[in-house]
Structure 1
Amino acid sequence: MALNDEPSLADYFGFEPLEVIRIGRSAGPATTADMNGNGKLDLIVVNNHNSRIEIHSQKEDASPEDSSPPSRVNEFPEHWRFERTNVSVLHHVTAVIAHDFDGDGMKDLIYVGRPGELVFLRQVSPGTFQVSRRHRIRNLSADQGSLRIANVIGDDQPELITLVNGEIHIFPLDGDEVGTPTRLAAGDRMGAFHIEDFNGNGRLDVLGVITESSAPLRVWFGREGEATRSLGPQVRFELPSLRDVTPVKLPGHDGTRVALIERSSKRIVTYEFVTEELERISSGDAPYHVHSFTDPGNRSRDLIIADINGDGRRDVIATDTRANAVAVFRQRAKRGLAAPESFPSLADVKVLAAGPTGENGRTELFVLSEEEGVVGRSRITRNGIEFPEPLRMSEGYTPVTMQLAKLGDRHHLAVVAKENREHKLELLDLRGGRESLELGELVRSPETIIPIDADQDGRTDLLLLTRDRPMVMVHAGEDGYTIREAREMGQSGLVQAARAENTAVFDIDGNGRPELLIADRNYIRAVRYNDDPPAGVSPGWQVVTQINAEDSSARLVSLAIMDNRIVAADRENNRLLMFSRSSGAASGWRQTEAIGVTGFQLERIHAGAFSGDGRSNVLAVGNDGLAVIQLGGERITLRETDGWRPSEESQAHHRLAAGDVNGDGFIDLIALDSGDQRCDIFTYSARGRKHFATSFQVYESRIFSGGASREYQPNQAIIADVTGNGADDLILMSHDRVLLYPQMTEAKKRSGEE
């Protein structure tokens, strides 16, 4: 055979003549399922114009001569292949799935209807459906791409998974009852999700899609090696903004890949998820994963780090004012932070503190509710965190902030309380003793207490910080405590930028006595207080050293101590800046690393080991979740396996679907083009590379010209066998009809050649 006589990829694809199933205006979405138990897939299509769901069941031995007339006036006739069953609905339906929720062997229907209802339709007898239960769910926002039945968490019972207010909600399912959902929040509104085993570990993962985002793919990977199913933290993947995403499961490959359409470049790209070992990061972007808070969007959340169960690993405790609770992220060996556990607490808890104040040094939790005027003490047991017991304070005073501090040889809880504008500091020794210090009349209540030996005399002082107001020092002397206001402290302007999130206590010069570190503008300043400086030097606050960032545009808003290094968050450039000491002197400090963090706004940070493997990480706290930023270890990343760019400017692909449309055992990719109104077909090779195969016109009409800027039709593609010949067909949902392209089988191909 001559080279130019070799068949092209297009020769391996063929469809029988197009068949049209007319539904009516506002047709779709559609799905497929065996609704009558005959082993054949039926076509399920929403007909919102006529307020019904249509089930088109395959007929036995059907032929084109079997067409039947309409059953009533203004009714479309049944397609000769199918027997139509109409299921009346009361809503505008945006998504529908088939699931035998009552366990009687017959498939039932579950649909999402506007406004905000999840409706269970039980098939009580073949072709007869009744409303079994309706659940009103506020902000339910699912379409056909965001309603699933799958088993991703807990035991072997499946869950119903959908989108509520842009968050993925995983509802336990018991018949037609739905339980309290597990929520997966991404920080931005997700528009769709997919459930597959993307990393090939044998567990189902959940992939959320936010098309207009710098990190449009958010994946919660299923954890392996656990007795029950659970999902890990959110992992974000940076990509260009997208138009559509679909999973691609290739035979012989462990993990499911994703094919996507890039919005700006119009490229159709395939990616696979791969695990790689991280070298120590000193530049570039760091990987991270995100743990969602139970009350996303809370801007007044307090969060502390403590080892609550004595296992030597650092856990995270956060307030949950929405639920009047505290949420605990326990750290597990080799797993890192687990999903949050919620424990009831005071109403609108404002401040948290924790420390080894219990019996035998066990950690206890302290909570402050200004709304209820209570400071509470919670014991931590193997069952969790007990409800707080109120601590005794001065009558008539309302607590506003607190901090645990070791004063002398014992822990005390330092509490600032107010009565109108009068404030006092109460030092509770946690054994019933209490010492009160009058702070006088303050325009604004302090927000933060920092325990530090500010003047390095061996006694712990307390710094009271108030946003946009001067610092107040509670100075510990030989004869007790004295209050020093800013005007009584020399050079108080050197510390005026100090706040809770941008300060740390650290021995900057290695003399065994800590200094106060303040991150501000493009520098970190280390200060101490000195009442008796050398001759000629003004008493008060003194700068021990100042470390400037290399980039003058840096805006440092938070800092933390990591071993013997200082980590600062540069909000302006969204980077972590590392500072190290090259010699024993304080002046030897300099910036050594700049690590980018894409897709997560840096504000407050903590440093420590949070990934369960003992490696040092940075914990960044946002409004919706906390990010564990990896500086080493393993990470999952996306690797591009192929890409294809359309040759014509008019082409505008908008929808993808994957399946085998020519029966050769290889997966094909369908790409719908609203610009030229075509359907492009790609095929994947045995090595997993995508190749363009063929293309055909879907429709050609002046009404639809310029479709890329007006509307995206066809709006849905399904690959499934609805003709009963064992070969998957191509089904397109377009305007008021279903376009059915039956796959041409090998027998018909051969007969055509003859």
Structure 2
Amino acid sequence: MISTLGWSAFGILMLAGGDATSGDGLARHFGFGPTQIYKLHNGISELQIADLDGDGRNDIALWNRWKNRIELFYQPGAGESASDPAEDLERNEIPSRGTMRRESIPVPHRVSTLRVGEFTGDKRLDLIYFGEPRELVILPGREEGGFGPAITTRAPDGDPRSGGLAIGDFNGDGRDDAVLRGDGQVLAYYQQPGGGFSKPERLVHNVKQTMLTLPADLNGDGRDDLLMSVDDDEYGMMAFVQGAGGGLGARQRIRISKVRSITIAPNRDGPDDVYSVESATNRLRGLRWGTSPEAGGDWPMLLYSYPVVSNANRMPSAIADVTGDGRLDVVVASVDTAQLILFEARADGLARGRAFPGLVKTVALAAGDLDGDGRAEVLSVSSEEKTIGVSRYDGERLTFPTALSVPGEPLGATVGALTPDDDAPPMIVCVTKVAPEANEDDAGGRRRRGGEQTQVFILDAAGGDVLRHWRIDDLEDDLAGVLLADVNRDGRNDLLLFVQFAPLVTLLQSESGSFEPLDGAAARAGLVNDATPAGAAFADVDGDGVSELLLAQKNLARVLAVRDGHWEVLDQLNPESADAKLTGLAVLPAGDGSPTVVLYDKQARELIVLRRGDDNTFAVTQTMPVGAFDVSTMRAIALRGDEVELLLADPRKLALLHPGRKAPAMVEFQTYETDVKDAWLADSVAGDFNHDGVRDVVVMDVRK
């Protein structure tokens, strides 16, 4: 049995069999038999231990960079001996000595990571490696011994640095899968029933400088999860935890200082232990996944990736029960790939996003149950195709958008009722640019000719018929969003148009159902400058039973309403820093009528949580770092009907936060600090080195 092994800086593989001895000190607990030495060359790495020939004894595989080949060392059976040829030694040269049979496999790649697993469905172990040229290569184990011809899969997005390939059952089907580290993403290659890999599933995380990629059962559910180290001083690890339905789930950041190494130590029961050398302190720490009583109040955050690689600076989204299961789903439009991405709600969060064909250059999304069947339809607004299209969930997918009959070039749309009543029928409200007909008369009876006009159309949601339309002043810039809300508290929903780099356009609904602009100097439109959909919410924040408009504006947020024909500030919420740059806002409702307001500060890359105090003033009660977001959506949603969650999205990622819960962390249960002067702990190995049934840990000091 191989107990310990290592390789020197001079390319020598050394092995020592366990041999417990008696005596004082450490000798009472473990010892080593005669050392076996196998000379190779400088640059050996990627050492793996496994039963490569199926004889019940562990063997060794490693990468010999100098000779571009995989070296294999097989343990002999009873009565067998190694048959290596005699060496031609120089004077004072150390000879190889040992009992293992040595073979090698020349390969044409520059191997960065070598692993062992079963990938062909024949129950025999195979070798797998990744390198340059960027290909994932399987060397299948043969029944008669050795390894067969290479099975190659192109992987141009893989990262050819060491430690970037993890092997485990990542979808719970009992077969070995492979996860490959890429630039800002991981590629999950799930094994098919007959062997071989399916098309990789991309988990885009956009994290720079990810390092080690390892399988581990972090939460003790018996499923393989993925743990990665990150070159980050504050969040030194991240994890993808496998869900109950199989497949790697959302990314979870782990607040831990930067680590030098990670070693996974499996447990028979419960979560695996993680040993890591902390870069800042040179300590070896034993860690377990869990929640720590000493941990801060950070909310758990699940980070979901889009299944497409997009360079767009905007990803419109809509939130509604698209599948009809009573849970709110999230739909995102990938602008430059012409796709709709559906994130279905699940008991543990959101399912992985699925992409379906959509309109070209979708600039806005809206959703609502147009036909009353219990499933929300999705409206896609494409100025490129001059179309508003309707997609439906047919039980398996989102259908391709079918066009609504709306004249002109659509700029934006929303779905909602014209009154706040729960039983009010939904309407489709859209804003378009329309070229007037040559023979169309204006209000004074004169024939119109000339340029395009900006018009608002209200359509019956069920039939799509135009109920009314009217002209409004041309917008100063691109339309960013449309909202129906009763801002003047008269029981009728008004129309708010968010325009980039311009004040909010307010159209007040009259008793007759017409909409009149709130403009002019008396309207105090300067109070609604810098309004964005992501930085706006409509909620009751003062407990009077009537909702107000909240806007994040530069370094503060305001509570506003229209009174006596003009905008009025009802309250103001201030962060603690004058340098704050607020780009997102959401309101978390509370049963006591005093909701929580959450702001996103782009400057500090953190969430700011404000609650009303005893003096009835909102004050900051918590801040938490969440990373950089170019916020396009920020909403408080009852995703699963039982609790409110915070949705935060930008063109690269989508995050779901759980207020009131504690974020999982790596909880320390052991620590070791060497007393050797000038030691530099590089890595650790865990195992039972003295055969007493108790795990031991060996740490390596490479400076000495």
TM-score when scaled to structure 2? 0.82
Q: Does the CA-based 8 Å contact 2:411-2:432 persist in structure 1?
A: yes
Does 2:237 match 1:205? no
What's the CA shift for 1:178? Answer: 1.8
Counterpart position of 1:736: none
Alignment partners' CA distance in 2, 1:301 and 1:289: 19
Deviations 1:638-661 (CA, angstroms, capped at 9, x unpaired): 321122223356222222222222
Determine which of 358, 369, 376 is the counterpart of 2:382: 369
Determine which of 295, 299, 302 is the counterpart of 1:286: 299
| 1:111-122 equivalent positions in 2, closer than 5 A | 111-122=129-140
Alignment partners' CA distance in 2, 1:179 and 1:104: 17
Does 2:376 match 1:358? no
Amino acid at match of 1:643: T
Amino acid at match of 2:286: T
What's the CA shift for 1:322? Answer: 6.3
Determine which of 215, 225, 228 is the counterpart of 1:195: 215
State the secondary structure of the residue aligned to 1:469: coil
Does the C-alpha gap of structure 1 residues 551 and 13 become closer, same or farther in structure 2, counting only changes over 3 Å? same
State the secondary structure of the residue aligned to 1:339: coil
Deviations 1:475-499 (CA, angstroms, capped at 9, x unpaired): 4335664563754653111111211
Counterpart position of 1:579: 611
Determine which of 491, 514, 524 is the counterpart of 1:491: 524
Amino acid at match of 1:494: L
Determine which of 250, 262, 265 is the counterpart of 1:233: 250
What's the CA shift for 1:126? Answer: 4.1
Aligned residues: 648
Does 2:39 match 1:22? yes
Counterpart position of 1:652: 680
Amino acid at match of 2:52: M
Does 2:200 match 1:181? yes
Counterpart position of 1:745: none
Q: Does the CA-based 8 Å contact 2:476-2:502 persist in structure 1?
A: no
Counterpart position of 1:528: 561
State the secondary structure of the residue aligned to 1:494: helix
Alignment partners' CA distance in 1, 2:145 and 2:176: 25
Amino acid at match of 2:197: V
What's the CA shift for 1:10? Answer: 4.8
Counterpart position of 2:665: 637
State the secondary structure of the residue aligned to 2:642: coil
What's the CA shift for 1:464? Answer: 1.6
Q: Does the CA-based 8 Å contact 1:615-1:632 persist in structure 2?
A: no
**Bigger shift: 518-527 or 86-95?**
518-527
What's the CA shift for 1:458? Answer: 3.5
Alignment partners' CA distance in 2, 1:321 and 1:71: 67
Amino acid at match of 1:579: R
State the secondary structure of the residue aligned to 1:455: coil
Determine which of 325, 346, 359 is the counterpart of 2:359: 346
Amino acid at match of 1:158: D
**Bigger shift: 5-14 or 33-42?**
5-14
What's the CA shift for 1:125? Answer: 6.5
Counterpart position of 2:7: none
**Bigger shift: 112-121 or 562-571?**
562-571
Counterpart position of 1:256: 272
Alignment partners' CA distance in 2, 1:331 and 1:642: 38
Deviations 1:612-665 (CA, angstroms, capped at 9, x unpaired): 582333223245433332333575333211222233562222222222223232
Does the C-alpha gap of structure 1 residues 10 and 553 become closer, same or farther in structure 2, counting only changes over 3 Å? farther
Does the C-alpha gap of structure 1 residues 444 and 275 become closer, same or farther in structure 2, counting only changes over 3 Å? closer
Determine which of 327, 330, 333 is the counterpart of 1:313: 327
Counterpart position of 2:59: 42
| 1:411-422 equivalent positions in 2, closer than 5 A | 411-418=426-433, 422=453
TM-score when scaled to structure 1? 0.77
Q: Does the CA-based 8 Å contact 2:510-2:516 persist in structure 1?
A: no
Does 2:532 match 1:503? no
Alignment partners' CA distance in 2, 1:670 and 1:433: 75
Does the C-alpha gap of structure 1 residues 451 and 208 become closer, same or farther in structure 2, counting only changes over 3 Å? same
Does the C-alpha gap of structure 1 residues 111 and 508 become closer, same or farther in structure 2, counting only changes over 3 Å? closer
Identity of aligned residues (%): 25
**Bigger shift: 400-409 or 434-443?**
434-443
Deviations 1:422-471 (CA, angstroms, capped at 9, x unpaired): 53333332323224433455452211112223333333322222121233
Amino acid at match of 2:190: P
Counterpart position of 1:425: 456
Alignment partners' CA distance in 1, 2:364 and 2:658: 28
State the secondary structure of the residue aligned to 1:109: strand
Does the C-alpha gap of structure 1 residues 49 and 416 become closer, same or farther in structure 2, counting only changes over 3 Å? same
What's the CA shift for 1:272? Answer: 1.6
Counterpart position of 1:220: 240
State the secondary structure of the residue aligned to 2:163: helix
Determine which of 310, 316, 339 is the counterpart of 1:325: 339
Does the C-alpha gap of structure 1 residues 661 and 167 become closer, same or farther in structure 2, counting only changes over 3 Å? farther
Does 2:677 match 1:666? no
State the secondary structure of the residue aligned to 2:415: strand
What's the CA shift for 1:67? Answer: 5.5
Counterpart position of 1:399: 410
What's the CA shift for 1:595? Answer: 4.1
Does the C-alpha gap of structure 1 residues 10 and 157 become closer, same or farther in structure 2, counting only changes over 3 Å? same
Does the C-alpha gap of structure 1 residues 114 and 516 become closer, same or farther in structure 2, counting only changes over 3 Å? same
Alignment partners' CA distance in 2, 1:437 and 1:581: 45
| 1:150-165 equivalent positions in 2, closer than 5 A | 150-165=168-183
Alignment partners' CA distance in 1, 2:272 and 2:686: 11
Counterpart position of 1:302: 316
Does 2:426 match 1:382? no
Alignment partners' CA distance in 2, 1:623 and 1:663: 53
Counterpart position of 1:721: none
Does 2:571 match 1:560? no
Counterpart position of 2:488: 455
What's the CA shift for 1:519? Answer: 1.9
Counterpart position of 1:469: 502
Alignment partners' CA distance in 2, 1:399 and 1:649: 71
Q: Does the CA-based 8 Å contact 2:478-2:500 persist in structure 1?
A: no
User: What are the ranges of 5 or more consecutive residues in structure 1 without an aligned counterpart?
Assistant: 534-538, 677-754
Q: Does the CA-based 8 Å contact 2:140-2:147 persist in structure 1?
A: yes
Q: Does the CA-based 8 Å contact 2:321-2:375 persist in structure 1?
A: no
Amino acid at match of 1:378: S
Deviations 1:55-88 (CA, angstroms, capped at 9, x unpaired): 2223346899965225999xx9975423322212
Q: Does the CA-based 8 Å contact 2:300-2:661 persist in structure 1?
A: no
Q: Does the CA-based 8 Å contact 1:233-1:291 persist in structure 2?
A: yes
Alignment partners' CA distance in 2, 1:71 and 1:347: 70
Alignment partners' CA distance in 2, 1:495 and 1:65: 83
Q: Does the CA-based 8 Å contact 1:238-1:598 persist in structure 2?
A: no
CA RMSD of aligned residues (A): 3.5
User: What are the ranges of 5 or more consecutive residues in structure 2 without an aligned counterpart?
Assistant: 1-21, 435-450
- Structure 1 runs, 4 residues or longer, greater than 6 Å off: 62-66
Alignment partners' CA distance in 2, 1:275 and 1:284: 11
Alignment partners' CA distance in 2, 1:23 and 1:6: 35
Alignment partners' CA distance in 1, 2:662 and 2:57: 45
Does the C-alpha gap of structure 1 residues 577 and 266 become closer, same or farther in structure 2, counting only changes over 3 Å? same
What's the CA shift for 1:400? Answer: 2.6
Counterpart position of 1:743: none
Counterpart position of 2:445: none
Does 2:296 match 1:270? no
Amino acid at match of 1:540: H
Alignment partners' CA distance in 1, 2:262 and 2:86: 41
What's the CA shift for 1:258? Answer: 0.7
